[in-house]
Amino acid sequence: MSEPIKFRLDGRDVEARPGETIWQVAKRQGTVIPHLCHKDAPGYRADGNCRACMVEIEGERVLAPSCLRTPAPDMKVTTTSERAVKARAMVLELLMADQPERQRAHDPGSLFWHWAEDAGLGASRFAARAAPDADASHPAMAVHLDACIHCGLCVRACREVQVNDVIGMAGRGIHSRIVFDCGDPMGLSTCVACGECVQACPTGALMPASVLDDAGVFTGPADRQVDSLCPYCGVGCQITYHIRDGKLLTVEGRDGPANRGRLCVKGRFGFDYVDHPHRLTKPLIRREGVPKDGRDRVDPADPSTHFREATWQEALDKAAEGLARIRERDGGSALAGFGSAKGSNEEAYLVQKLVRTGFGSNNVDHCTRLCHASSVAALMEGIGSGAVTAPFTAALDADVIFVIGARPTQNHPVAATFLKNAKKNGATLIVADPRRQGLSRHADHMLQFKPGTDVALLGAMIHTIIEEGLTDTQYIQGYTEGFEALRQGFEDFTPEKMAAVCGIDAQTIRTVARTYAEAERAIIFWGMGISQHAHGTDNARCLIALALITGHVGRPGTGLHPLRGQNNVQGASDVGLIPMFYPDYKPVTDEETRKTYEALWGCDLDPKPGLTVVEIMDAIHQGLIKGMYIMGENPAMSDPDVQHVRDGLAKLEHLVVQDIFLTETAFHADVVLPASAFPEKTGTFSNTNRQVQLGRQALDPPGDARQDWWIIQEIARRIGLDWTYSGPEDVFDEMRRTMESIKGITWRRLEREDSVTYPCDSEDEPGREIVFGDGFPTKSGRGKLMPIGLVPPDEPPDETYPLVLSTGRMLEHWHTGTITRRAQVLDALEPEPVASLNPHQLGALGIGAGDRVRVVSRRGAIELKTRADRDVPEGMVFIPFCFSEAAVNLLTNPRLDPYGKIPEFKFCAVRVEKADAESAAE
Amino acid sequence: MTASRPPSQGVAARPLRPPVHLPKGRQVDGAALEEIRRLLGTDERRRDLLIEYLHRIQDRYGHISVARLTALAAEMRLAQAEVYEVATFYHHFDVIKEDQTPPPPITVRVCDGVTCELAGFPALLQDLEGTLGPGVRVVRAPCVGACDKSPVAVVGQRQPGNATAEAVRAALDAGETTPPIPDYRNLDDYTTDGGYDTLRSIQEGGRRRADVIAAVEAADLRGLGGAGFPTARKWAFLEGAPKPRLVAINADEGEPGTFKDRYCLETDPHRVLEGALIAAAAVEADEIYVYLRDEYAHIRHLLEAEMAKVEAAGLNGDVTLHLRRGAGAYICGEESAMLESIEGKRGLPRNRPPFPAERGLFGRPTLINNVETVFWLRDIVERGGEWYQAEGRPHFYSLSGRIKEPGVKRAPSAVTARQLIEDYAGGMADGHTFTAYLPGGASGGILPAGMADLPLDFGALDEHGCFIGSSAVVVLSDRDDIRAVVRNLLRFFEDESCGQCTPCRVGCEKMGDLIGEKTWDASLIHELSDAMRDASICGLGQAAPNPVLSALKFFPGDAT
């Protein structure tokens, strides 16, 4: 059936590829047949319900929907017959009868009006039915079902593409209606506001609220569009900014390799932070005589209490002077720099180069330390590379998908859609998470294990696979080392023994182990639930062992995929924004590499690895580090035991902060440099799939805010470096000179292709999506299997602190909330801090849902409201770390994993008590 | 347990602040979840059983509260929308939101089918509405398949024939709301008469599959659900299709004026079951799903009992029998909509191709036969196709309307309307003069009395824009208003359109508007009809204009 099908289309001989529909062939031939319910985009199934695309097929009694119909050999198809044209026009006229008139339409430029105009329809001859009321309950999206044509595209968008399963078509016949959940207002439904329905709607019945006036009438189209990227998570969705009068109007998903047109609530609706009145638009210098205090807070709306405005000249001079002074006096090791995983590759490269060549040490790090440092440690040790072995879209080729310690429906929503698609296509989905989550309902096996017992669960799986002879012996012999030690190491991890530790019964552990091992193709996804533990590296080692002993690496549908957090955490690490590596993970301790960089950069380099994020904070307290340059990071919110961090920042002799808002970190700065937000800059960004993608500038920075690369360069020049970069392209070219991984990726190529996967050897080759099919970039060329022991969480609950606190993100808020809490829609959806507990747990504590409570750990206390959430197990509290008014990192345990130096964010002991009346009334 | 979300606030004019104290959306109510778990017991939480489980809730509580609906969704690991859209598609489910009042415990459904309209259902409805007390509600219902006893009111699940307000009240007073089981031929009687011998001879190899098919082919048995497609050819489509194969028996008789399948099932159910098993053997299927309209509660009870007996006696061989219950949706009589409904979904007809023989129920090659079609199989196989031909290819006609003796009549396929009225139905009712007839229920168009000598056979009426469909002949008289009849039929199509495709969903509604006008716009009606016929997905929308077109063609004085 791979032969093309010859048939006649409007009197011409044409060929259809197998599976190709008449509509698709016609389009290829240059005829776009009218269509409404058919969306010509990836992931959308043709449904054939609107009947706007009917064509005539010789010998058939009735017309056929061209969007659905595949031609048969010698079929004679006419798109232009009178019968077909009339039927299509009648369909449009019927629908037009019930539409709001075009002058008052929600979307006068919609697909519907396009085709109505094309058919030459002025007005409908039919009477209109009563129009349903508008639903404006959602802050981001307006629902006007008077324009609904029941094409079901939103249902397919919600249920088949994004698999969020909120929209349904209820009722029957003329009473059919689009509903959310049980016919609820959209704003009170389970809608996660991905906006896929808005993007799919062909009539304007579902629209971004931002483009309508109060009466629901369209306020006018964008005047220009810029193709760029989403600034939020590591998925790396490609987007198009729609801009009107110099402001972002809407965001649309583009067909990028990681998102196929899909977006989540943050990417689609979380962009107006760039216009927030808190934006820094002038350089600021700390007022003389304003003391620094770790408990001090500054009002970002009015920094004048602590800062005065300055010219760029003065601010840059002061920033550089302080850094140079400390360097001259105490040496380069008394300085440190944090770059940002939200910045571009070029910016990250410049920051690490500034620290290494300008400060003179390797004390440079960024928030990767807080997310996947342990995963990277284990991966580097095990397979010689810290990146994913396959893109998350490889899940579509997998038979078994194992997700552990990751909640992609919240944190990587678009990646999650592909996992759900894969499950719907028949893959087996295994989810392991102490909390139930968005994937649970779809999972074949939901392992709600006890927090902090990952090694017990995974070890029992490894034990089972070895004991039952389910290993891939050939693969082990060919590509790994250390199997015997591994076998012995896990000899004691019987599922029967581990069941008591992890809370999952032995039979289930065995079943899941067999399911994974016996699959033809299995892939593992993990996130912070694995990495953010004192035993995070051990957790990741277990996952690597699982994949290696079963041979589930290096083939389509297999692999190890740590879902990376920030939009450029992969790239920032790749270009050396970490204390132990130069770009491409070349150790700073390796003399040959160092010599290369000394030659390239024209200066001597420090052979000692630098300090990591948490270590730098400790070094400040010890008086070893006295000056810092922090670009786009917010350790005063993101680090564990954050009061300790804030005290450290306040203790610094000189702190330069470069950011777009006055962050909690900037409260303690000496100089604050106003930088550019994502839509205001051009640069490359590397997502979790190792796809290097181009972000393009859509707006100018506000006021006197400047490009980050320019600011870094100005500091560099003032501390004695003779940098003369003309822009990001220039920096990228320098990176390519030493980075083998992106050898085949040129700036021109990115401008042309938008996205290229690395490693990529030459300009005419696509990058390699799936790596390590034939060994690993380790010294021996083999994957290393590591036996490990059972390390319990550092701070188990006790009588005084009886509950386990876990922290993380929520769908709407990014990281420390600096930008998302300043995005109107996102803030409206999740406006205040909440502690989620199981309703039974709340009952046992005598606390109601919505009550104000005090959550206390050994390090601090915060007050916030409770949320009754059945997904959270009893004995646990979950608090997101995005809320500065109840910063949960005041409570967290700074205890580090010994290898990855990552703190144990996912486990510390707390108690929850009713807030006293006084503080409740505040 | 968990506080559930505040009641729906209807449609909101401005952004609502979602409650901070709960996760997004309506939360599962702990008590409702316990109720649902008890109701489902250890039964599998299979998606295709959704409608069965909705029935359990409706039967147990008299309605489906959204709290229970949400709990059912959680228990079946489905999204709320998936359950809500199915529950609201079917008219026999009463989904009640937090701010709505549950219906009274007893529902009286007054049939508003075309025959019942002739028999005066509006008066009956008026007599009943608001007079039956607070524990009873009165609703209109589409044809319930008892046109020989019109007007019909269904009290709970019981149908007192030729209903009067008094009879309904009497039934309510006596608490008679469950259907009496009819006096049917049971398994013993049926087997004494040689029942299941034919099937056994096929199962045991005494009778070859090819011979069975040959007999049916020789008989020229047609699909008696309405399409009249040659049964043997339909079977042949399954040849070579991958296994497992399935059989679905369409017992969702719903065409207004039709009640012949009901007759088959309530008089001789084993002849239907044996026929279904013969069909399964003929296409080598190993499961049979019988999809029965919910209006036939009495038949459901008897089939449950008799199917169990068949299985207990091992008569079914290796074939598994399933009985599935409709929920009040005419469209599910459309074969592909029926498949969707059996799968637990909304009854939306599928686009074809692919045809059910390639990809049918649960994606498997599926044979779909009507109840009456399989009813004839035993006789045809036993006595031979030639016998059936010699008998004049008999089948059942449902006769109703202005005739003396309405009912199901066995007649040869060349019978005419005049013969049916004169020879089978005892002539016109007293005081009525024959003026017109519906040859095939609501869909088959309307013919004038002057054309009552045409054979009522498949294909015979095509040139007049009509068809016999399910052989439901409704006889009209000089006392009937053609326009009123047409409006009744179009209202039926509008109510029963699944709503999936534009020409049918919007077309039926707009056609209703057009024929509600004092003067009909014949040109626009024709334009609309063309699009509905050419572009609708299934027969409902394609045939819906038929009565209007017939009226314009044959009764121009009445229509315009």
Give the separation between CA A343 and CA A345, rounded to whole angstroms: 7
Query: Which of B30, B89, B509 lies at the smallest CB-CB distance from A129?
Result: B509
User: How far is C-alpha B154 from the chain's CA centre?
Assistant: 16
pLDDT tens for A533-592 read 999 999 999 999 999 999 999 999 999 999 999 999 999 999 999 999 999 999 999 999
pLDDT for B3 equals: 36
A179 and B84 in contact by Cβ < 8 A? Answer: yes
Query: CB of B34 within 8 Å of any CB in chain A?
Result: no
Task: Read off the pLDDT of each residue in A773-798 and give the average, rounded to a whole number.
Answer: 94
Which residues lie below 8 Å from residue A568, measured CB to CB, with a gap of 6+? A341, A342, A343, A344, A345, A348, A685, A686, A687
User: In this model, does residue A329 exceed pLDDT 50?
Assistant: yes
Query: Which of A68, A87, A165 lies at the smallest CB-CB distance from B535?
Result: A87
pLDDT for B560 equals: 52
Closest by CA position to A150, among listed A174, A133, A131, A130: A174
According to DSSP, the β-strands at B366-370 and B395-401 are unpaired
Give the separation between CA B545 and CA B533, rounded to whole angstroms: 8
Size of interface A-B (CB pairs under 8 A): 245
Which residues lie below 8 Å from residue B444, measured CB to CB, with a gap of 6+? B438, B461, B466, B467, B468, B469, B472, B543, B546
Query: Which of A48, A185, A871 lies at the smallest CB-CB distance from B8?
Result: A185
User: In this model, does residue B542 exceed pLDDT 70?
Assistant: yes
User: In this model, does residue A922 exceed pLDDT 60?
Assistant: no
| Closest chain A CA to residue B537 | A49
Query: Which of B97, B498, B506 lies at the smallest CB-CB distance from A94?
Result: B506
The per-residue DSSP string of A771-829 comes to --TT--SSSSSSEEP--------SS---SSS-EEEEEE-BTTB-TTSTTGGGSHHHHHH
pLDDT for A920 equals: 44
Give the separation between CA A394 and CA A560, rounded to whole angstroms: 10
Task: Read off the pLDDT of each residue in A640-655 and give the average, rounded to a whole number.
Answer: 97
* Region at B236 (left for phi over 0; alpha for psi -120 to 50; beta for the rest): alpha
Task: Provide, as residue numbers in chain A, all residues whose Cβ is less than 8 Å from the Cβ of B82.
Answer: 159, 165, 168
pLDDT for A256 equals: 98
User: In this model, does residue B300 exceed pLDDT 70?
Assistant: yes
Structure tokens at A79: 């798109």
Percent of chain A's residues with pLDDT above 70: 99
Query: Which of A98, A132, A190 lies at the smallest CB-CB distance from B24?
Result: A190
pLDDT tens for A840-875 read 999 999 999 999 999 999 999 999 999 999 999 999
Give the separation between CA A75 and CA A59, rounded to whole angstroms: 9
| Closest chain B CA to residue A64 | B535
Residues shown for chain B: 560
Distance of residue B158 Cα from the nearest chain A Cα, in angstroms = 26
pLDDT tens for B202-254 read 999 999 999 999 999 999 999 999 999 999 999 999 999 999 999 999 999 99
pLDDT tens for B467-523 read 999 999 999 999 999 999 999 999 999 999 999 999 999 999 999 999 999 999 999
B85 and A179 in contact by Cβ < 8 A? Answer: yes
According to DSSP, the β-strands at A134-135 and A141-144 are antiparallel
Query: CB of B210 within 8 Å of any CB in chain A?
Result: no
User: In this model, does residue B559 exceed pLDDT 70?
Assistant: no
User: In this model, does residue A454 exceed pLDDT 70?
Assistant: yes
pLDDT tens for B355-407 read 999 999 999 999 999 999 999 999 999 999 999 999 999 999 999 999 999 99
Write the DSSP symbol of residue A837. E
Structure tokens at B238: 């399954």
pLDDT tens for A380-408 read 999 999 999 999 999 999 999 999 999 99
The per-residue DSSP string of A267-317 comes to HHH--GGGG-TT---S-EEEPTT----TT----TT-GGGTEEE--HHHHHH
Task: Provide, as residue numbers in chain B, all residues whose Cβ is less than 8 Å from the Cβ of A840.
Answer: 1
pLDDT for B292 equals: 98
Geometric angle at alpha carbon B488, from B485 and B460, rounded to 5°: 60
pLDDT for B133 equals: 87
Instruction: Say if residues A162 and A57 touch (Cβ distance below 8 Å).
Output: no
User: In this model, does residue A679 exceed pLDDT 50?
Assistant: yes
The H or E element spanning position A561 is: strand A559-562
User: In this model, does residue B340 exceed pLDDT 80?
Assistant: yes
Burial class (CB in 10 A: 0-12, 13-18, 19+), A736: middle
User: In this model, does residue A705 exceed pLDDT 70?
Assistant: yes
Give the separation between CA A588 and CA A865, rounded to whole angstroms: 47
Beta partners for residue A854, in sequence order: A863, A913
Residues shown for chain A: 922
Query: CB of B16 within 8 Å of any CB in chain A?
Result: yes
Closest by CA position to B400, among listed B147, B188, B200: B147
E strands present in A129-246? 134-135, 141-144, 167-170, 177-180, 206-208, 224-229, 238-244
Please give the model's pTM, rounded to 2 decimal places.
0.96
Q: Residue B352 phi/psi, 5° resolution?
A: -125, 145
pLDDT for B557 equals: 80
pLDDT tens for B113-162 read 999 999 999 999 999 998 888 899 999 999 999 999 999 999 999 987 78
Query: CB of B518 within 8 Å of any CB in chain A?
Result: no
Structure tokens at A751: 């401008």
Instruction: Say if residues A687 and A235 touch (Cβ distance below 8 Å).
Output: yes
pLDDT band at A735; cut points 50, 70, 90 = very high
Distance of residue A164 Cα from the nearest chain B Cα, in angstroms = 9
Structure tokens at B516: 């509600």
Average pLDDT of chain A is 96
Closest by CA position to B43, among listed B68, B75, B65: B75
Task: Provide, as residue numbers in chain B, all residues whose Cβ is less than 8 Å from the Cβ of A136.
Answer: 12-15
Instruction: Say if residues A34 and A119 touch (Cβ distance below 8 Å).
Output: yes
Beta partners for residue A286, in sequence order: A307
Helix, strand, or coil here: B153?
Answer: strand
Burial class (CB in 10 A: 0-12, 13-18, 19+), A22: buried
Closest by CA position to B250, among listed B170, B98, B362, B361: B361
Which residues lie below 8 Å from residue A263, measured CB to CB, with a gap of 6+? A194, A195, A196, A199, A230, A237, A239, A251, A252, A253, A414
Give the separation between CA B327 and CA B325, rounded to whole angstroms: 7
B26 and A871 in contact by Cβ < 8 A? Answer: no
Give the separation between CA B457 and CA B466, rounded to whole angstroms: 11
Give the separation between CA B181 and CA B301, rounded to whole angstroms: 8
pLDDT for B159 equals: 83
Beta partners for residue A686, in sequence order: A692
User: In this model, does residue A337 exceed pLDDT 90?
Assistant: yes
pLDDT for A754 equals: 98
* Region at A815 (left for phi over 0; alpha for psi -120 to 50; beta for the rest): left
Helix, strand, or coil here: A65?
Answer: strand
Structure tokens at A596: 């290369």
Closest by CA position to B303, among listed B269, B336, B339: B269
Q: Tell me which residue has tokens 């040859």.
A: B439
According to DSSP, the β-strands at A861-868 and A876-880 are unpaired
Task: Read off the pLDDT of each residue in A301-308 and give the average, rounded to a whole number.
Answer: 97
Task: Read off the pLDDT of each residue in B302-310 and give the average, rounded to a whole number.
Answer: 97
Structure tokens at A819: 């930008």
Instruction: Say if residues A683 and A343 touch (Cβ distance below 8 Å).
Output: yes
Instruction: Say if residues A234 and A570 touch (Cβ distance below 8 Å).
Output: yes
Task: Read off the pLDDT of each residue in A887-915 and give the average, rounded to a whole number.
Answer: 95
Query: CB of B507 within 8 Å of any CB in chain A?
Result: yes
Closest by CA position to A198, among listed A190, A206, A187, A210: A206
Geometric angle at alpha carbon B510, from B506 and B513, rounded to 5°: 150
Structure tokens at B58: 């409706």
Structure tokens at B327: 């929920």
Give the separation between CA A306 and CA A667, rounded to whole angstroms: 8
A871 and B23 in contact by Cβ < 8 A? Answer: yes
Structure tokens at B76: 């079946």
Helix, strand, or coil here: A118?
Answer: helix
Give the separation between CA B196 and CA B381, rounded to whole angstroms: 12
Query: Which of B495, B505, B533 lies at the smallest CB-CB distance from A176?
Result: B505
A183 and B88 in contact by Cβ < 8 A? Answer: yes
| Closest chain B CA to residue A189 | B25
pLDDT for B10 equals: 45
A850 and B19 in contact by Cβ < 8 A? Answer: yes
Query: Which of B20, B500, B533 lies at the smallest CB-CB distance from A62?
Result: B533
| Window 276-315 of B, Cβ < 8 Å to A | none
Q: Tell me which residue has tokens 């998908």.
A: A401
